[in-house]
Amino acid sequence: MANKIGNISSIASIPTDDLREIWRQTMVMGLPETEADRPTFYFDREVEWAEHDSADKPWDWTSTPISDDTPDPVQAICVYVFATPFGRQGALYERTGEYNQSTLTITMFEEEFGTVSDSSYVTIGPGLERKWWFRYWKPAASLNDLTVYEAIFASEDT
C-alpha cells in the first residue's frame, strides 16, 4: 500500500484481513452446493525430456521422458460471471437475459490466484463437458494489502 504519493497522504485504515474474510464467505455463499458443479481449474501436462530442442520437444519421440506430470485439478473460492461481449459471435439477447454466453470472468483473491494462475482451462456447472479456455489476467486491483485478480476465459465452442 502506498502511504504517500506526491503531497497526498493515505488516510485509509481498512482492516483488510477482516474484509477479505467477509468477501470470501460471500463468495462461498454464491458457489453451487454440489462440489462437482463448482469452478474446477485444470492444468497442462508437464513433460521433461533428456534431449530436446529449443521448444522442449524431444529429438527422439520414442525415448522415455525424464518426468511426466499433470498437476491435479484445483477448485478455488471465487466469483464468476458469464457474458457475451457485444459483437461476439453467438450472442442471443432475450427479455430474460443473454444466451450462448461465450466469455467467463472469474474473480478471486491472492491466495486462490497463487493456486490457479497457470491453469489452462476451467469447467463449471452441471454442463461439465464445456471447457472454458484461459485467455488473460486483467491487471490486479488493490485496496491496502487486499488484491483482487480477474481472469478471462473463452468458451471452447465460440
Q: 87 — alpha (psi -120 to 50), left (phi > 0) or beta?
A: left
**pLDDT tens string 103-128:** 889 999 999 999 999 999 999 887 66
Say whether pLDDT at 151 is over 80: yes
Q: Maximum CA pair distance of the chain?
A: 65
**pLDDT tens string 39-90:** 999 998 887 877 777 777 777 777 777 777 888 999 999 999 988 766 555 5
Q: Domain coordinates of the chain in residue numbers?
A: 13-155
**pLDDT tens string 4-49:** 788 877 666 778 888 889 999 999 999 999 988 999 999 988 878 7
Please give the model's pTM, rounded to 2 decimal places: 0.76
- The Cα 47–Cα 67 span in angstroms is 6
